[in-house]
Structure formats: structure tokens, C-alpha cells
Structure 1
Amino acid sequence: MFKRRQKIKHPKATYDEQLLTLLNSAKVDWDRAKQNEQAIYDNNTSELVTQTALARAKYLYLYREARRRQVHGNQIQRAVIDK
């Protein structure tokens, strides 16, 4: 009738891995938003500017959280290496 919740064996490692995954996807989203904003030059680009600012804010929040939790990953994005 009632199921017991399964205990996560290594919760910090699991959540840190999820945080790194979210951080990487947020970086990709932010890069894509910046590219869209640069590619589309129009007088009415306030929506694009807002989307870029939102993507940047999400990435910086996740980045600060990863630094606070002292998360170190072995994944390096190609976008960071190429620049």
C-alpha cells in the first residue's frame, strides 16, 4: 500500500552531476540567444534582448550555485575552449 522512498546512495554526487548538466545546457542556451540577438538586427528586438538577459541570468545563477557547492566537473565545453 505505502511504498518506502528509496534512499539515494550518494545524494551530493547525484545532485552535483545534475547541476553540471543544467549548467552546461544553460551555457548552450545563453550562447544560442546571443547568436540570435546578433544575427537578427531589427528595431524591435526587445524580446530578443530580454531572452538573452534571461538566459544569462539563469547561467550565472547556476554558475554561482556550482561555485558555492564547490562542484568540479571533468566536462569542458567546446565553446569555452574555442574562445
Structure 2
Amino acid sequence: MLGFRKNFKNVGAQYDEFLLDSIDRAKDKWDKAQETERAVSEIDEEIIAQTQLSKAKYLFLYREARERNVHNNRIQSSVIDY
């Protein structure tokens, strides 16, 4: 039983790390969708829908991390300007 508890705590930490990685990827997708929307001269409903979907995914993951009280010690890749 003690081994199971250790494993269970490790699963939570792994999920938190996965959640942070997912947030980073979702933010990148949202940023790219916004750039595409700005770059295209004729915006159709599909492009708008993709941008809204990317935003919704990012905000969902962000809220999940806040509810789980997950904090990040790294700088989000979308913030860094190369």
C-alpha cells in the first residue's frame, strides 16, 4: 500500500508537467491562428472558428492549471522573442 501512494503522488506531478506542456503548445497554436487570421486578406468562417477553438483550448487548460494550483518555474516559449 505504501508503494501505491508514492506512485500516486508521482502521477500527479507527471500530470502537472504534462498540463504545463499542453498549455505551452495550446498558446503557440492560438498565436499562430491569430497570425494567420491577420495575414489572410479574405478571412472565412473556418479560419475564425479555428482561432476561437485554439483560444478555447488554451483557456480551458489554463483554468485547469489554476484550479490544480500548478505553478511554472520556466518562461513560456511564446513570451520569449528570439
Do they fold alike, i.e. is TM over 0.5? Answer: yes
**2:18 counterpart of 1:21:** no
Query: Shift of residue 12 of structure 1?
Result: 1.1
1:80 CA displacement = 2.8
Alignment of 1:28-67 (within 5 A): 28-42=28-42, 44-67=43-66
Q: TM-score, normalised by structure 2?
A: 0.82
Superposed displacement of residue 79, structure 1: 2.8
TM-score (norm: length of structure 1)? 0.81
Conserved 8 A contact 2:24-2:77: no
1:54-80 C-alpha deviation (Å, 9 max, x unpaired): 000000000000000000111212433
Counterparts of 1:24 and 1:78, CA distance in 2: 7
Structure 1 alignment gaps of length 5 or more: 1-6
Q: Is the 8 A contact 2:16 2:70 kept in 1?
A: yes
CA RMSD of aligned residues (A): 1.6
Q: Structure 2 stretches of 5 or more lacking a match?
A: none
